[in-house]
Structure 1
Amino acid sequence: MPPSQPLISRRHASQRAICLCLLALFALCSLHAGTALAADKLRLQLRWLHQFQFAGYYMALEKGYYRDAGLDVEILEGGPSALKPVDALLAGDSDFAISNSGMVIERMAGKPVVALAAIMQTSPIVWIVRADSGIRTPMDLAGKRLMLMPAPESAELLITLRREGIDINQLTIQPTSFNLQDLLDGKTDAYDGYISNEPYWLSQHGADYHLINPREYGVNFYNDVLYTREQLVEDKPAQVAAFVAASLKGWQYALAHQEETIRLIQQRYAPGKTLEHLRFEAEALHKLIMPELVQLGHMNPGRWEYIANSYVQLGMAPGPVDLQGFLYTEHVAQDYRMVYLGGVLALLVIVLVGAIALRFATLSRALQREVNRRQTTEQQLLTSNCTLERLANTDRLTGLWNRLKFEEVAHQEVSRAERYGYPLSLVFFDLDHFKDINDQHGHEVGDQVLCRLAQLVGGHLRESDSLCRWGGEEFLILMPHTDRQQAEQLAEKLRERVAKASLLVQQPISASFGIAQLVPGELLRDLVRNADAALYRAKQLGRNRVEA
């Protein structure tokens, strides 16, 4: 037998031995990792009763994402007694908890809580007042009776009041009764609730209401943040990392399969809630989570510092702000037993990996160049698409929505108003004698006047209102959750501001306004036609007036 054959056989045998050793090593690592993750039951404490607000955690459990990560998770329902979960969390009665941004107050007070992921990028908490109360702004709450949940649940509402210069000591603060009927019965003037929940109940009971949203007054905090205790992060970092990843995966599924999630929640967790109520909640929460714009669970350190400083400045937390260790950074402790075990085979692995790496180094560089090229192309395409979308949706002169974009959004608002029964009003307005301005001063001056008008009106609208240039000197304002009387009040304020503003130095300028409220069964074209007819009456009656 030629001498080369035994040499080849020995080489093959050596390679087989190396492969067997590697397989044994990987199997041991997998067994060790699985045993480490599945050691204990993990308990997640919700902050309230079962509802769509916690959909991601239900789906992570029901779809097996926790189980696949080697975790045994129990979800504990919350309620009024679970509004302050920090004590139970630090005592070990729960391993993870859902709370709002106020937990940073506990951290600054020396309690070792860690923020893992922020699900809602903006808070759902609002003041709810009766439509006939005359209360429209935080300043109107001075001297009124206000229902409040205990801090930190009520933090955003209190900060809004203080920023508006309202002395909390001059208010009549009532513990929340968790019963909206108290608002309707006049037992309180303002009720603290969620924009994703209570408005549905009020609509179902035929009650007119108004919302005061802290976000419209510059108070925009994270909400429904996932927390744990610092000791768990240090002792079992792999479990914490696996729990966070599986939970976010559950949220991705819940938001992508909304109807399936809603039906599962009703069947297994919240049978007392109707499908329509859960759909209303899901749609409202989707806007607060903003998954299309922000990565699920994202937390900005700078924003957390701003939130913490807000609490300190308003006397709700001790200073100075030090968030070292508060924001979760994934890390997995090194298992030195595995290092020692792997060291036995390290040299053999290095030889094999080195040979493979050398062989494919050129291919990897070429592949990386291709990846970079494609990423550049994708970025250019994304930029182009954004530019095209902006050009397609906005008026080039004023920067407002154009007619096409407005109709797209307005159709959706009309459908929502029809479905949930809340009021929807439209303001149709234009400048009086605008043709004379163009004729006397030229179209360039006329364009400047339209731009100044757009800035003036846009600066006095709510975030929920939609302003568009309908054509020429005509503009529309779509106002959800607003009845005709409220729309008339706003239009009158806008009319006065236009009349007093210096839109054109050479001469005074006025505007006429037409108001219409959506009637059940009407379409968008009916609403626009009615508002246009009201504007025509305003013109016929002398201009510079509001008609409905």
Structure 2
Amino acid sequence: MFLPVQTPPGKRGNASLRLGLGLLLLQLLCLSEAMAAEKMRLQLRWLHQFQFAGYYMALEKGFYAQAGLDVQILPGGPGTPKPIDLLLEGDVDFAVANSGLVIARMQGKPLVALAAIMQSSPIVWIVRADSDIYTPHDLAGKRVMLMPAPESAELLITLAREGVDHAHLELQQTSFNPQDLLDGNTDAYNGYISNEPFWLQQQKVPYRLVKPREYGVNFYSDVLATREDLLQQRPAQVEAFIQASLQGWQYALENTEESIQLIHQRYAPDRSLEHLRFEAEQLKKLIMPELVQLGHMNPGRWQAIAQSYLDLGMADGPIELDGFLYKRQLATDHSLLYRVLAGALLALLLLGAVALRFARLTRKLRLEVGRRRQAEQELRDSNLQLERLANTDRLTGQWSRLKIEELAHNEIKRAERYGFPLALVFLDIDHFKSINDLYGHDVGDCVLTGVAQRIKSHLRDSDSLCRWGGEEFIILMPHTDLDQACLIAEKLRDLLAAEPLTGTIGVTASFGVTQWQPGQGLGELVHCADLTLYRAKKLGRNRVERFSPCAILPLV
């Protein structure tokens, strides 16, 4: 018969002490590993200024340190290699770049876009208020400064979309000195909306801005980027850097004055507090934190930006963006795995049921977040589809009447503000009813579609074509006077009559052309064009008539 061995009370106390010391040692080991911060280098695009406030605040407020990161922030500027080049060469771990990042990706360079801080680019043309430059068209024959590609892409694409030929401009390499605008060395200076305008205000020089965004060119700017190999090797550190940086940006935007004072004291003492305040106010409008989540990037918008670079000849296709946009990584490196396992074991020993409950709640929260994101995406897709249906004619694919009214009101406001010409062409397919009667409505629909496609293919990018109703179409022509519009209408008339649209069916059309006059609304402008179209039909059809108050009875 065996009796159980009894442990003396003193030895039992020693055993408990050894167990406690062992647990304490394990906890200290985990803590020491966590305290070994990862060294990271961030390359900025330019000299220290509020443009990079979020990164400064992430460092100064300890957000990087809390994430286990030891971050060094490196300024850019004249004489410094491009941030993307430094990133590819492995000299830095992260870089702030513009949307030209996608060009390097299409060239096969292993770059990944992590977060877009500015939802709109700050780049603009700055002209003197006493100049005659109001729109991109007014730059023809002028001296125009541009930064090296791709920094100037937004400006170049604006010129292309507005139909302004580079050969008509006197292009100059940027001097990075707005004094050239004051001294008359250039007519249009390329700059940042957040920077040079403050200097001009200090000089008491009135100025105007030509903004690409007003002409439909809207690119991301200040995109945080890294290399694919770094992301694959240290995904947890990359994720930690992103989150700490965005936390820094959130703090900087919510505590603007504190951030300005800190930047002035520690990073940019040569930049005045007033200048930093002006910069902060302008950049906040481009970051749009009240409307868009910080760092948000839309794949479709990146696709459109890449296509713009292709159209401009600054990149070669095809557009392959798989892996270009950062997606949250689930894999971890081995060192982090060991720390997590050790911490989880200690937590299980000490907290047990509490940790299990917390894990369940976390999983439920992640599932709910995923469901909400999916619902939000479906809602955005639905809204885009509804917008397309509302804005386009379902048969011809051209603008609907509702959309052209919106565009026309905007163009009339621009014409009133800047004084440039605006023309409107009203056209009607001749004898269209007989086509429906002889061949049926299916053939009539084909004729309408063919007429729309043939006209659209010969219009400028700045012109807008709308199916007004039935067999009637309207063409809105900004920056076009009555004589120019009549010449274009005559070319379109001849184009339609030149050869049949479908099989042996040929069509002609009658055109009424008018030019907007100060004080006119859209209704009166369309009415003048309609009366002119009616005169064209009365005079035999297949002709172009121009509006003349003498030839048409005044409006009642």
TM range (shorter): 0.5 to 0.7
Rg comparison, structure with higher value: 2
Aligned CA distance change for structure 1 residues 149 and 457 (closer, same or farther; 3 Å): same
Equivalent positions of 1:53-92 (< 5 A) are 53-82=51-80, 84-92=82-90
Aligned CA distance change for structure 1 residues 348 and 193 (closer, same or farther; 3 Å): closer
Equivalent positions of 1:256-405 (< 5 A) are 256-331=254-329, 333-336=331-334
CA distance, structure 1, for counterparts of residue 356 and residue 94 of structure 2: 46
Aligned CA distance change for structure 1 residues 360 and 333 (closer, same or farther; 3 Å): closer
Task: Name the counterpart of 1:501.
Answer: 525
Letter in 1 for 2:304: Y
- Give the 3-state SS of the residue equivalent to 2:41 in structure 1: strand
Q: Deviations over 1:86-127 (max 9, x none)?
A: 211111222211111011101111211111110000011001
Contact 1:108/1:317, CA 8 A, preserved across alignment = yes
- Give the 3-state SS of the residue equivalent to 2:172 in structure 1: strand
Aligned CA distance change for structure 1 residues 96 and 506 (closer, same or farther; 3 Å): closer
Aligned CA distance change for structure 1 residues 81 and 28 (closer, same or farther; 3 Å): same
Task: Name the counterpart of 2:427.
Answer: none
Q: TM-score, normalised by structure 2?
A: 0.61
Q: Deviations over 1:263-308 (max 9, x none)?
A: 1111111122221111111111011000011111111111111111
Equivalent positions of 1:41-440 (< 5 A) are 42-82=40-80, 84-331=82-329, 333-336=331-334
Aligned CA distance change for structure 1 residues 227 and 454 (closer, same or farther; 3 Å): closer
Equivalent positions of 1:454-473 (< 5 A) are 457-461=409-413
Shift of 1:497: 5.0
Q: TM-score, normalised by structure 1?
A: 0.61
Q: Deviations over 1:12-55 (max 9, x none)?
A: xx9999999988766655544443xx243x22111111111111
Gaps of 5+ in 1: 1-5, 7-13, 380-451, 466-491, 508-543
Contact 2:253/2:284, CA 8 A, preserved across alignment = yes
CA distance, structure 1, for counterparts of residue 302 and residue 63 of structure 2: 29
Gaps of 5+ in 2: 1-5, 7-14, 377-403, 418-515, 532-554
Q: Deviations over 1:159-197 (max 9, x none)?
A: 111111222244222111111111122111111111111
Letter in 2 for 1:69: A
Contact 1:98/1:225, CA 8 A, preserved across alignment = yes
Shift of 1:502: 4.2
Task: Name the counterpart of 1:392.
Answer: none
- Give the 3-state SS of the residue equivalent to 2:290 in structure 1: coil
Aligned CA distance change for structure 1 residues 187 and 83 (closer, same or farther; 3 Å): farther
* Deviating more after overlay: 270-279 vs 116-125: 270-279
Aligned CA distance change for structure 1 residues 359 and 254 (closer, same or farther; 3 Å): closer
Contact 2:236/2:333, CA 8 A, preserved across alignment = no
CA distance, structure 2, for counterparts of residue 348 and residue 115 of structure 1: 37
* Deviating more after overlay: 313-322 vs 21-30: 21-30
Identity of counterpart residues, as a percentage? 61
Contact 2:54/2:251, CA 8 A, preserved across alignment = yes
* Alignment length (residue pairs): 388
Contact 1:47/1:82, CA 8 A, preserved across alignment = no
Equivalent positions of 1:17-28 (< 5 A) are 28=29
Shift of 1:75: 1.3
Shift of 1:84: 2.5
CA distance, structure 2, for counterparts of residue 360 and residue 111 of structure 1: 42
- Give the 3-state SS of the residue equivalent to 1:49 in structure 2: coil
CA distance, structure 2, for counterparts of residue 310 and residue 258 of structure 1: 35
Shift of 1:356: 7.0
Letter in 1 for 2:111: V
Aligned CA distance change for structure 1 residues 503 and 267 (closer, same or farther; 3 Å): farther
Letter in 1 for 2:42: L
Q: Deviations over 1:133-154 (max 9, x none)?
A: 2111111112221111111111
CA distance, structure 2, for counterparts of residue 116 and residue 358 of structure 1: 32
Aligned CA distance change for structure 1 residues 167 and 351 (closer, same or farther; 3 Å): same
* Deviating more after overlay: 325-334 vs 338-347: 338-347
Letter in 1 for 2:276: L
Contact 1:128/1:192, CA 8 A, preserved across alignment = yes
Task: Name the counterpart of 2:544.
Answer: none
Shift of 1:456: 5.1
CA distance, structure 2, for counterparts of residue 345 and residue 298 of structure 1: 33
Aligned CA distance change for structure 1 residues 335 and 278 (closer, same or farther; 3 Å): closer
Shift of 1:215: 0.4
Aligned CA distance change for structure 1 residues 85 and 355 (closer, same or farther; 3 Å): closer
Letter in 1 for 2:519: R
Contact 1:29/1:338, CA 8 A, preserved across alignment = no
Q: Deviations over 1:409-453 (max 9, x none)?
A: xxxxxxxxxxxxxxxxxxxxxxxxxxxxxxxxxxxxxxxxxxx99
Aligned CA distance change for structure 1 residues 15 and 72 (closer, same or farther; 3 Å): same
| RMSD (Å), alpha carbons | 4.2
CA distance, structure 1, for counterparts of residue 49 and residue 338 of structure 2: 49
Letter in 2 for 1:197: N
CA distance, structure 2, for counterparts of residue 174 and residue 354 of structure 1: 69
Letter in 2 for 1:227: A
Contact 1:453/1:498, CA 8 A, preserved across alignment = yes
CA distance, structure 1, for counterparts of residue 18 and residue 332 of structure 2: 27
Letter in 2 for 1:76: L
